[in-house]
Structure 1
Amino acid sequence: MTWLLRVLACATVLLAPLEGYLQEVHPHLAKVAPGLLIVSWAVQRVRERRLPAAHPLHAVLAVFAVVLLASAAVHAGDPFTLDYAQRFLPFLVITAVLVDVVVREVPVRAVLAAAVGGAVFAAVGALYSLVFEGAPRATGPLEDPNDLAFFLVAALPLLIALPFRKFLLPVGAVLAAGAAATFSRGGGLALAVAAVWLVARRGVSMRAVGATVGGLAVIGLGAAVFAGPVLDRALAEKKYIAATNVDTRELRWQAAARMLADNPVLGVGPGGFRSSYAAASRNAEIDEQSPVAHNIYLEIGAELGLPGLACFLGAIALAFVSAERALRAGAVRSMLAVQASLIAALVASTFLSEQYYLPIWSLVAVAIAADLRREERERDACVARHQ
């Protein structure tokens, strides 16, 4: 059963950025791996008669689930509530499951490698969509280029935790090129902040950063020489929508803030931002009546109130504290990678609503699992000394 949990855990993380491709085959195919993981994990723990290792995160996730369900119950009449509650709740469950399987069955590096592997496939798809399918901005397996950039920039810092150094440069080049092909400004900012964090924590050297920037410049020059018309079209498309994006996001952030101020306890319900946006924004966007907030913090706050937002931020805080503990206990490169990746994901999510994608949740799970592994090692060492 251990091998099955390993395969399903890695498959869940690897296939997350390929959701669009899977949905083209079958609308529910993307749910198969996480669903099987949850079922297999439950069966294994029942057979072992063993509860998961306790961590404060479990309490936070439990409260989060209660808040989510309470908000959904209060706003059950909203047209989006049931669908979005069903989308959100599994991420809380899969986070708890990933914590437990990474503690007991799956090596941390295997999960990080799976995240990188899935992102590489997504980056290849991104470049293919831009160069061969004529997409104005790279999309590949995801409809929104910004969502795709979110996955790719979150995966890039994880490279420092992986072995096989001679393969990391080409892998990093593919990820960076795929991210650049999305023309996501938020993605670029997220990657820059993560790079600053890694340099400040001495996870990478300035020489490595310089080499990376030089490599990106070479990639950009090559794109300009060999794919000039494609690049010009993409830049024109990005320039056309850039100013509009700034204006519409400001309108949506203001509307989300109003919803939170008016409904601070349980928000407007899961998915309620979409149905409440027209009224909250006073029909500011005539051609878009049910958008997303394009800010994970404001959207969670608007939909689940201050308790929901506090639970989300609490889970993030616990992840950083746990990663730091594991780092100081010896897991330096892997935990620096997790911290930098989480920072990239959180910065990118300032401009996106990414609570319905896996990276933030899986990174939280890995950080907590690494801390629990540390605690188990320390207990074993203490027992050995007493014996």
Structure 2
Amino acid sequence: MSAPTVTPPRPRARAWGDVPRRRPRRTPHGARPPARTGARARRVAGLAAGLAGLALAGSGLGLLLAGAGLVAGPLAPLLLVLAPVLVVLAWRRSDLVVPIVALTLPLGHVGAGPVDLVQLVTALGAVAVLAPAAARLDWRLPPWPVAVPLGLFLVVAALATPRARDADLAFRLDVQLLLLVLLVVAVLTGVRTTTQLTRVVVGLLVAGAASSAWALVASGPTESFYGGGVVTGRAVGVFSQPNELGLFSAVLLVLALGVGLGSASPRLRATGLVAAGLLVAALGVSLSRGAWFGALAGVVALAVLVAPTRRSLLRLGAGLVVVVGALGLLGVGPLGQVLDRVASVGEAGANPYDQRPLIWAEGLRLVAEAPLLGHGPGGYFLEAASDSLRSGVVLEVEHAHHLLLNTAVEFGLVGLGALLVLVAGLGAGLLRARRATATLPPAAEVRLLPGVLAAALVPVLAHGMLDYPLRNPVVLTTVWLVLAALVAACEHARATAPTPTQETR
């Protein structure tokens, strides 16, 4: 019997994907491969060249910003940085441009070269949204009940400008009006969803909270005369006078209360309530009776238009009255002047410095002189100051202290009619939006925001019966941003309405 044949062992087969290991090449101790040494040298040289380029670019940018600051003012460097940001957002995220415009409001009524900062930012924002939309042929215009009075405003302003005594002032006001109308179109074009609209509202609330905080920090001691009819040392914040701070706070306070008490989002509620606390404090230290009246009218409108806020508003109102009354009796803080101002509303004749009767009489006379197209934008001050000597009194006011009367003086009865048609158009849009969202939950943002934004505009009309603080570009831009957001909210609510086919099903 032969011996079995011994088969040598076969090498182990490699698994799928195994790579045979190679022995590392031995390099003499202390020596480096020439290829790796060359690569590292190139990296070091590239890094040095990059740092040198950054240094040169930084030096050039610093010289550019410094030169712009010397020529156009200290805010020009900020604008040079903001402009590229808006350009990038214009092509990538145009919906963020409008919230950025809202966030620049706390910078206040400051100059940026020949114009105000808020006007320049408004122009940049409108261009940043509308230029890419025009390239895509994707503009969105307001509905005709809003577009017609806005267009009529522009036509009347152009026709009334040659009649103005100060052509430069009239031209500036015309440009501002055109920018604000373009801002409305930009909001409708760039803000197309409820989420994007909510960002605009949050931007307004953050701007209001920041401005209120500054007003509270910068406020000083006050002194009242004539039973509270005249108070010195009133807070102004970033504005020119207390009534402008008051109207700004009243508008955004109603907006903050509507969001904070009616929204279903916890974050949005917290943002609204924090902003409302700061805004109500700023409204109080402004000691503006017209703004208080406007805020009260806005809160009443909010309770009527937005049902989820009614019970909370009653509780907050009762608590606020109790706290203010108790602290006022104890004489804590500036509440004594607040109560004196409230009590002085019914004693207007006790204040010899209140020129409203004379101002309104002068305004009616100016309307009778030019009833059709008025005296041109900004014409009240020059016309009244030149003719008030007939009654032996010189007026030192810039406006007619009345929204409707000032509009009639500067734009005639045609301009006043355009304003009333605009208010009616906004009301009609709100009614259509409420009908379109009647089947949605009351706290749904698409149903909540139109009512809240409409209530936020009520203080403008109520305060406008006693004063006209819309000469300040920050206040004016804030009001127009709320107006544009209201139009966008109503249009979006109408877009969510069920079709007839869906209703049949």
**Band of TM-score, shorter chain:** 0.7 to 0.9
Give per-residue Cα distances to partners, 1:303-359, cap 9 Å, x unaligned: 011111111222222112212222332233212211211112211122222444123
Distance 2:409 2:352 in 1: 20
1:342 and 2:457 aligned: yes
Count, aligned residues: 383
Q: Does structure 2 conserve the Cα–Cα contact (< 8 Å) formed by 1:149 and 1:184? A: yes
The reply on whether 1:182 has 2:286 as its aligned counterpart is yes
Alignment of 1:213-292 (within 5 A): 213-215=318-320, 217-218=322-323, 228=333, 243-244=350-351, 247-282=354-389, 286=393, 288-292=395-399
* Mapped partners of 1:235, 1:286: distance in 2: 32
Q: Deviation of residue 197 (structure 1)?
A: 2.2
- Partner in structure 2 of residue 314 of structure 1: 421
- 2:490 paired residue number: 371
2:192 alignment partner, SS class: helix
Read off the aligned partner of 2:491 and give its amino acid letter.
L
Report the Cα distance in structure 1 between the residues aligned to 2:190 and 2:311, rounded to whole angstroms: 36
* TM-score (normalised: structure 2): 0.66
Structure-2 residue corresponding to 1:323: 430
Pairs within 5 Å for 1:160-199: 160-161=258-259, 162=263, 163=265, 164=267, 165-199=269-303
Q: Given the alignment of the two structures, is residue 46 of structure 1 paired with residue 134 of structure 2, yes or no?
A: yes
Q: Report the Cα offset of residue 210 of structure 1.
A: 3.0
- State the SS of the aligned residue for 1:247: coil
Aligned partner of 1:19 in structure 2 is 108
User: Which residue of the other structure, out of 466, 473, 498, is the alignment partner of 1:351?
Assistant: 466
State the secondary structure of the residue aligned to 1:171.
helix
Deviation (angstroms), 1:69? 0.8
Residues 332 and 375 (structure 1 numbering): CA distance in 2 closer, same or farther, change over 3 Å?
closer
Aligned to 1:151: 248
Higher relative contact order (CA 8 A, sep 6+): 1
| Contact in 1 for aligned 2:436/2:494 (Cα 8 Å) | no
Q: 1:116: which partner in 2?
A: 205
Task: Give the corresponding residue for 2:78.
Answer: none
Q: Which moved more, 1:161-170 or 1:65-74?
A: 161-170
User: 1:207 deviation in Å?
Assistant: 4.8
Q: Is the 8 A contact 1:296 1:350 kept in 2?
A: yes
1:75-86 alignment to 2 at 5 Å? Answer: 75=164, 78=167, 80-86=169-175
- Give per-residue Cα distances to partners, 1:111-157, cap 9 Å, x unaligned: 22222221111111111121489981111111211111101111112
SS in 2 for 1:194: helix
State TM-score, norm by structure 1. Answer: 0.85
Instruction: Tell me which amino acid in the other structure corresponds to 2:314.
Output: V
Q: Please, which moves more after superposition, 279-288 or 296-305?
A: 279-288
Distance 1:19 1:245 in 2: 32
Q: Which has the higher helix share?
A: 1
Q: Does 2:174 align with 1:59? A: no
User: What do the CA deviations read for 1:201-246 (whole angstroms, capped 9, x no partner)?
Assistant: 4342245323244236536756887964x6667888997x975488
C-alpha contact (below 8 Å) 1:78/1:272 kept by paired residues: no
Rg larger in structure: 2
Percent identity over paired residues: 20
Give the superposition deviation at 1:181.
0.7
Preserved CA contact (<8 Å) 2:243 2:469 = no
SS in 2 for 1:99: helix
Change (3 A) 1:171 1:365: closer
List alignment gaps of at least 5 residues for structure 1: none
C-alpha deviations, 1:146-178, integer Å up to 9, x for none? Answer: 111101111112122354334543432211111
Q: Counterpart amino acid of 1:299?
A: N
Q: Quick check: 1:295 aligned with 2:399? A: no
- Please say if residues 130 and 181 of structure 1, whose CA atoms lie closer than 8 Å, have aligned partners that are also in contact: yes
Give 3-state SS (helix, strand or coil) of 2:400's partner: coil
- Listed as ranges, the gaps of 5+ residues in structure 2 are 1-89, 224-231, 438-445
Cα distance between partner residues in 2 of 1:37 and 1:55: 22
Superposed CA offset, 1:21-57 (max 9, x none): x449996322232111111122111221223245112
CA contact (8 A) 1:268 1:304 kept: yes
Residues 142 and 185, structure 2, Cα contact 8 Å, conserved in 1: no
